[in-house]
Structure 1
Amino acid sequence: MDQVTHVFDIFGYSKYRGMGNDNSSHIRSGIFAVGGHDWAIRFYPDGSGKESKDYISVFLQLLGEAAQVLASCDLRLVDQHTGLSSSVHKTGPRIFNSDDSSTAFAPQHAQFKRRSEIENSIYLRDDRLTIECIVTVVKKPHVTQTRSFPKISIPQSDMADHVGRLLEGKDGFDLSLSVGGEIFQGHRLVLAMRSPVFRAELYGPMREATTTGQRVTIQDMQPAVFRAMLHYIYTDSLPAKDLEGDDNTEMIRLLLVAADRYAMERLKLVCQSILCEDLNEDTVATTLALADQHSCDELKSACLQFIEISMPWTMDAVVASQGFQDLMATCPYLAVEALEKRRKSLDSHI
C-alpha cells in the first residue's frame, strides 16, 4: 500500500463564494501522486448541484486516461488555531475510475460539510480554509511464480519382492521343516526375523529341543496351512491360489490359529479382517468361538454385534446352525452372552 497526505489551502475563501453550483464551478488543488497515479482535489464552495446548494462539496479525482485504482481516502478539515485536523468523511477501499468522474466522489451525495458550519467554525480563519486529504492506494497482491524444484521419486518398497525371490529361487536354504509328512525348505534368518517363536526355537534356549540338525518338525498343522504361512513370511501377503474355493473360510481360520501360535500379529489381524467380512448365519457361531479362544477381541465383538442386530429369520438360522450347536456344547457361556445381547437389543426397541 502507498499512502500520501495532501494539504489543500484555499486562501481568500470568501471571494470564491457565489461561483454557482454547476459541475464547472470549482477550484482544483495541485496534482499529487500516490501509488503511481496522479490525483487532485476538487473544491465546490457553493456545492456541486442543487441538492448540495447548502453544502461545501469536495471530491477526490483520479487523473489520467482509462485508469482504475483501488483506493481509500480520508478528507479532513484543519483547525486553523491548533493545526490539528479532524476527519469529515472517509471512503473505504473502492475503485476510482478516471473515465467517470462520478465514481471519484469521495463524500456521498457530494455533501462534504454544511456551509454554515464551516463559516462559523475554527476551520475558517483569516479567510483561509485548509483541507487535508489522506489517500491510500491498495496495490494488487504480487504473487511470485512458484518454482518447481527437481524431485527424485522413490518407488514403493521392494524388500518383500526380494525376500520372496529367496523362496521362489530355492537358493541358500539352510533349514528343512517337516509338516504333516511334507518337507519345506527355508532360511533360518528369515523365519526368525518374522516370528519371535521361530526365533526362540532356532536361536534361543529351545533350539536343542525343537530341532534335529538342520530339520524342524512342526506338529499339529496341515501342510497347506504351513505353506500359506510360509508364503506370508517371505512376501507379507497371502497366496491367492491356496485360498480359493469353498473351504476358504476354514483355511483362514486355520491360518489364524497358526498366526497366533507363532505370534505373527499382523497375519493374525489379516485373518480376522477376512473372517469379519465373511460373517453370516452359517459362520458367525464358529467364528465367535475361534475369536474367543485366540483372544481376537475385535473379531469377537463383530460376531456379537452381528447376532445382536440380526433380523428374526437370520437369528433362527444362526441358532439352527451346526456352529451354534457346537458353541453351546463347548462354550456355553459365549452362547449365553450372545443371546443376552440379542435380548437386550430387542428390549430397547420395544
Structure 2
Amino acid sequence: MGSESRKTVSRYTTKTEKGSHSFEISGYSLAKGMGVGRFIRSSTFAVGGYHWAIRLYPDGVTEAFKDYVTAYLELMSKDAEVRASYDLSLLNQDTGSPVTVSSESTPRVFKSSDTSRFGPQGGYSILRSELELDESCYVLDNYLTIECDVTVVKQSRVRDSPAEYQVEVPPSDLSDHFGKLLLDEDGADVTFSVGRQTFRAHKIVLAARSPVFRAELYGQMKERTAPSITIRDMQPSIFRALLHFVYTDSLPDMEDLDHDEYSEITRHLLVAADRYAMDRLKLMCQNILCQYMDADSVAATLALADQHNCDGLKDACIQFMATSDEMDAVVETQGFADLKRACPSVLVDVLEKRSKFGKA
C-alpha cells in the first residue's frame, strides 16, 4: 500500500484599525502666555479599543523650549499596552491640506505607565515664529488645527486551516429577517393606534429593545391587557420610523427628504427615543443633528438637547454659538426666542464660553 501525503496550512493574521482626530484651537493667541510646561489637551478619541488625545504646549515643555510650540499624541487608556503607528500633522488653513510634521510608520509599543505613551516621545517642536509665519498658513484668523491619524495593531493569532477548501460566509442578514417580520406582521400580538393609523407588532421584540415597552407590555401597567395601545403626542410617521429601528437597528431610508424635513423628523425621533429609553437611537439622532446644525436651527436644537438630557448635542450647540460669526442671525430666530424664555440658564453657558473665545 502506498503512503498518503496530506498538506496542511497555518495562517498568521494581523488586523489593524485606523482612526483620525482634528484638534481645532480657536483663539490661538489666547492660549499663548499660559506658561512653560502648561498644556491644553483635545477631547479623547477612540481607535482600536483604546483612548487617545492630542496634547499641545503653547509656551514649550521646558525653559529650554520656551520659544517653541510642542505637540504630542498621548495614549489615555489606563493600564494599557498597545502597538500603534501614527501621523501627526498641521493643517494648512489656506489649502485645507494637512502637512505631516511627525510620524512613526512602523508600529511600536505605547505603554500608559511610562513616557512611551507619548508620540513622538520627545514631542514635536516648532519655533513659534515659524508656526505663526503668514506664509505657512498654519495660523489663520486665530485658528490652529492639529490632525492625527492613528493605526492600532489588533491582536494577532495563528490558526490552522485546510489547504484546499474554504466556505465563504455571507454578511449577517438578521436585520433583513426582522424587517420582513415587521412588514408581514406574521405572529404580531399587539396593536398600536397612532393618530388615525394602526401598527401591528410583536411584544417580545419590543420588550427586548426597550425597557419602557417591556414595562408596558409585561409589567403591571394597564397596556398589558389592552387590545390596542394608543400612542399620544407622536406622529404616525415617527412611530413607523421608531418601529423600523426597533426591528432593524437602523434608520429608514430618508434620501428623498430635503435638509429641513430630515432635521425635523430627526428631532421628533430623538424625542421618541428618549421616551422609550432607546439610547443608541438617541445618540444617532444627536449625531445627525450635529451634522445639520446651522444658524437657523442651533438655538432650537440646543433647547431640545437641554430638555432631553443630550449632553453631547448640547455641548456641540454651545460650541457652535460660542464661536459662530453669525450670532446676529441666531438671535433673530424663533428658536432663540423660545430658548431665552424656556432655558435662560443655558444662555449663560453660551455667553461664558463665547467670552473665552473673544466673540462680541
What amino acid sits opposite 1:282 in the alignment? D
Q: Does residue 218 in structure 1 map to residue 231 in structure 2?
A: yes
What amino acid sits opposite 1:184 in the alignment? F
Q: Does residue 302 in structure 1 map to residue 316 in structure 2?
A: yes
| Matched position secondary structure for 1:161 | helix
TM-score normalised per structure 2: 0.52
What amino acid sits opposite 1:186 in the alignment? A
- How many residue pairs were aligned? 199
Q: Deviations over 1:291-350 (max 9, x none)?
A: 111111111111111112112xx1111111111111001111112221221122117xx9
Aligned in 2, Cα 1:338/1:243: closer, same or farther, shift over 3 Å? Answer: farther
- Of 322, 332, 338, the residue aligned with 1:320 is 332
Q: State the percentage of identical aligned residues.
A: 55
What amino acid sits opposite 1:238 in the alignment? L
Q: Deviations over 1:114-136 (max 9, x none)?
A: xxxxxxxxxxxxxxxxxxxxxxx
TM-score normalised per structure 1: 0.53
Does the 8 A contact of 1:210 with 1:217 survive in 2? no
What amino acid sits opposite 1:158 in the alignment? D
Does the 8 A contact of 1:179 with 1:222 survive in 2? yes
Does the 8 A contact of 2:218 with 2:224 survive in 1? no
Q: How does 1:1-350 map to 2 (within 5 A)?
A: 150-206=165-221, 209-241=222-254, 244-245=257-258, 246-311=260-325, 314-346=326-358
**Cα distance between partner residues in 2 of 1:321 and 1:172:** 48
Q: Deviations over 1:93-149 (max 9, x none)?
A: xxxxxxxxxxxxxxxxxxxxxxxxxxxxxxxxxxxxxxxxxxxxxxxxxxxxx9967
Indicate the RMSD between aligned Cα atoms, in angstroms.
Answer: 2.2
Identify the structure with the greater strand proportion.
2
| Matched position secondary structure for 1:244 | coil
**Cα distance between partner residues in 1 of 2:244 and 2:180:** 11
Q: Deviations over 1:152-180 (max 9, x none)?
A: 33322211111111012222111110112
| Matched position secondary structure for 1:177 | strand
Identify the structure with the greater helix proportion.
1
What amino acid sits opposite 1:291 in the alignment? A
Does the 8 A contact of 1:211 with 1:217 survive in 2? no
Does the 8 A contact of 2:301 with 2:317 survive in 1? yes
| Matched position secondary structure for 2:213 | helix
Does the 8 A contact of 1:197 with 1:262 survive in 2? yes
**Cα distance between partner residues in 2 of 1:268 and 1:262:** 10
The structure with the largest alpha-carbon Rg is: 1
**Cα distance between partner residues in 1 of 2:273 and 2:335:** 22
**Cα distance between partner residues in 2 of 1:198 and 1:216:** 11
Q: Higher relative CO (CA 8 A, sep ≥ 6), structure 1 or 2?
A: 2
| Structure 2, gaps ≥5 residues long | 1-160
**Cα distance between partner residues in 2 of 1:213 and 1:320:** 47
**Cα distance between partner residues in 1 of 2:162 and 2:200:** 54
| Matched position secondary structure for 2:168 | coil
The corresponding residue for 1:15 is: none
Q: Deviations over 1:26-77 (max 9, x none)?
A: xxxxxxxxxxxxxxxxxxxxxxxxxxxxxxxxxxxxxxxxxxxxxxxxxxxx
